[in-house]
A and B are shown apart, each in its own frame.
Chain A
Amino acid sequence: MDFVCNIPFISILLSLFSGTICSVLPGRAAKWVNTAVIVSVGIMSAILLVYVNGTQESFVYMMGHFPAPWGNEIRAGVLEAGMALFFCMIMLLCMWGGRKKLDEEVEESKHNLYYILVNLILSSLLALIYTNDLFTAYVFVEINTIAACGLIMIRQIGRTLEAAVRYMIMSLVGSGLLLIGICMLYDLTGHLLMSNIQEAVAQILEEGTYTVPLVITMALMVTGLAIKSALFPFHAWLPDAYGYSTISSAAILSSLVSKGYIFLLIKIIYRVFGFSVFHDSHIINVLFVFGLAAMIFGSLSAIKESDIRRMIAFSSVAQIGYIYMGIGLGTKVGMIASIYHIIGHAAGKALLFIAVIGLTDASGFSRSFFDLDGAAYRNKIAGIGFTVGALSMVGVPMFAGFVSKLLFAQAAVNNVGKLMPTMIVLAVSTILNAIYFMKTVIRIYTPAENTEFAVIPLKREKLYGVAVVLFVILNITLGMLSQPVVDMIRSGLEMFA
């Protein structure tokens, strides 16, 4: 086994331990440790991606040299390495873009705590991406939840505390369902490693015993993860949590944390139950319907909202709906589209959150929609960033959102029964997206008559500018050069099965 195969394990441990180290460091040092860890994990993931792309097959890494049915395993393929690299990139840019706001909003003594939480989020995301063991996945899901709760309440105002409690309650309901699902699956199959479970599941289906418990188990696990990733009826905690926490937290929560759960779900679908088993159960239709509902109702709530950050938070609900709709289509192209949308939405939504904070800062910290007149002239780089993010979310060609919508439409064509609802809801949702995003873009570019707010020069916020520019480049690259990414996802999914 090549030395490169150690990378998943090293990157999980590195981020986990740097979290503990940050607890004794002062804020500034913790900041540098955090940046160094994210960059080095990103570089390592890139090396791993190149390696796995070269060998064209996934590898399994034994932890502690105990062989398959007993030991714990890590598994990496193209998709896992690519996701790890992408999550590191987004996380780094989110931290850069929100750094100034973090210094303003969070007490100096708590800065190192914030970097602990970010490192823990990174390590749990990496573990969710790489792990081959269901119980390990559960433990890291909980670590992810606790760290995310900390990210929400690091800025201590009443709203964030309440949002953190609501987030915890919803997450605990979700992880309770996931846990009982995993326990029942263990009892049915006698294994915790994903590959062994899949063999046992195939055997169960062949013998025809325990098919009902199997479906119930599947339903419990899918529901648990859907609740945790804020699928439509379970999104009550989301607007406050994204709307009032400090901006890096909001960006990381919306673009990475919920995506980690969805990636785990996709992994469970492929590696635990097997895609055909999942496809033949009716759970897939339930996900499809709730995805469609989320696309409409998320957008409607966003239109009604006059607080710009809550508006973007509601838009996340709609975009999560797109991802679940793609999973619910039950075709391979649909799954590819969903994974592409995970990437595209992460890039676009993080950019929107980072850009919005520039706009509200240039409007006297008012979050109300009506104070934003001409904000794009007062903070030019944020205006450009917001416009690019909005165009990507609406699905204008050249940007990441367009490619995923195109892929969703292609996937729907393959599935005759779900073609009409998908197409209609896609069209309606796109129009609704356009309504609230374009009205915001028009408003920030409408010159204000009474310019009481000062112009924020670009020089004053260099790091912020760099983050926004890199986000814009990322969005346009994903939109223009989508084919390599789609090919990567396709070969990654083939390695899954």
Chain B
Amino acid sequence: MGANLWVNYGEAVAAVLFGIGFGNLLLQKNLIKKIIGLNIMDSAVYLFLAEKGYIEGRAAPIVVNGVQEAAAYINPIPSGLVLTGIVVSVSVSALMLSLTIRLYRRYHTLDLDQISLMIKREGR
């Protein structure tokens, strides 16, 4: 168990980062900190994927010097997944930030609980 953890330290770090991001996204009151948590969580997933796709001693799957056999290159699919994931996470972060700006302009605070209280007081 311990030895496996040491060999796959990249995945272990990714899991810890995922936990940190997940906790921040759920538990922070401040909206900006929540978004930071979201980004940490997503980055952890990309680290996990990149770590899984990498094979020791091999190159990125771009043909140079005419080397054609598959054994020379790493698995390209996780890299593709990371790219797709980054696109998704950028758009989601942008949406969250724009929502945060709107809420901040209206209520002048970033604390979600206070915003809820103010909305209740508005009474509609």
Report A's interface with B, CB cutoff 8 A.
135, 138-139, 142, 145-146, 149, 153, 156-159, 161-162, 164-166, 168-169, 172-173, 176, 179-180, 183-184, 186-187, 192
Contact = CB atoms under 8 A, between A and B. Distances in A.
A161 B103 contact: yes
Contacts of A180: 18, 44-45, 48
A267 to B, nearest CB: 20
15 contacts: A135-B84, A142-B91, A153-B99, A158-B122, A162-B112, A165-B31, A168-B95, A168-B96, A173-B26, A176-B21, A176-B22, A176-B25, A180-B48, A187-B52, A192-B77
Contacts of A145: 92
Given A146-B92, A187-B52, A161 B102 contact: yes
A186 B81 contact: yes
A179 B91 contact: no
Given A158-B107, A158-B118, A169-B25, 15 more contacts: A146-B95, A158-B115, A161-B103, A162-B116, A162-B119, A165-B99, A165-B103, A168-B92, A172-B96, A176-B21, A180-B44, A180-B45, A183-B48, A183-B49, A183-B81
Interface string B70-106: 0000000110010011001001100110011011001
B119 A159 contact: yes
B15 to A, nearest CB: 9
A172 B45 contact: no
Contact of A183 (B45, B88, B106): B45
Contacts, number: 84
A164 B99 contact: yes
Contacts of A165: 31, 96, 99-100, 103, 112
Contacts of A161: 99, 102-103, 106
A161 B92 CA distance: 16
Contact of A146 (B26, B77, B91, B106): B91
Contact of A173 (B25, B77, B85, B103): B25
Nearest to B42: A176
A186 B116 CA distance: 40
Contacts of A138: 88
Contact of B81 (A135, A173, A176): A135
Residue picked from A142, A166, A172, A186, most chain B C-beta under 10 Å:
A172
A interface, by DSSP: helix, strand, loop or mixed? helix
A395 B40 CA distance: 46
A276 B93 CA distance: 38
Contacts of A168: 92, 95-96, 99
Contacts of B38: 172, 176
A158 B119 contact: yes
Contacts of B107: 158
Contacts of B95: 146, 149, 168
Given A139-B84, A183-B48, A172 B92 contact: yes
Nearest to B91: A146
A158 B34 CA distance: 20
Nearest to A156: B102
A12 B19 CA distance: 35
Contacts of B92: 142, 145-146, 168, 172
B108 interface: no
Nearest to B53: A187
Interface string B47-75: 01100100000000000000000000000
Contacts of B22: 173, 176
B75 to A, nearest CB: 9
A169 B30 CA distance: 12
B50 to A, nearest CB: 10
Contacts of B31: 165
A142 B87 CA distance: 11
Given A146-B95, A186-B81, A169 B34 contact: yes
Contact of A179 (B85, B118, B119): B85
A186 B84 CA distance: 15
Given A172-B25, A180-B45, A158 B81 contact: no
A142 B88 contact: yes
Nearest to A150: B95
A252 B70 CA distance: 48
Interface in B6-42: 18, 21-22, 25-26, 31, 34, 38, 41-42
Counting from the closest, the 10 A-B pairs by CB-CB distance are A187-B52, A142-B88, A158-B119, A176-B41, A165-B99, A183-B49, A180-B45, A179-B45, A161-B103, A172-B38
Given A139-B84, A179-B45, A183-B81, A162 B115 contact: yes
Contacts of A169: 25-26, 34
A161 B106 CA distance: 10
B100 to A, nearest CB: 7
B99 A139 contact: no
Contacts of A164: 99
A313 to B, nearest CB: 16
Nearest to B100: A165
Contact of A162 (B81, B84, B103, B124): B103
A183 B52 contact: yes
A42 to B, nearest CB: 29
Contacts of B103: 161-162, 165
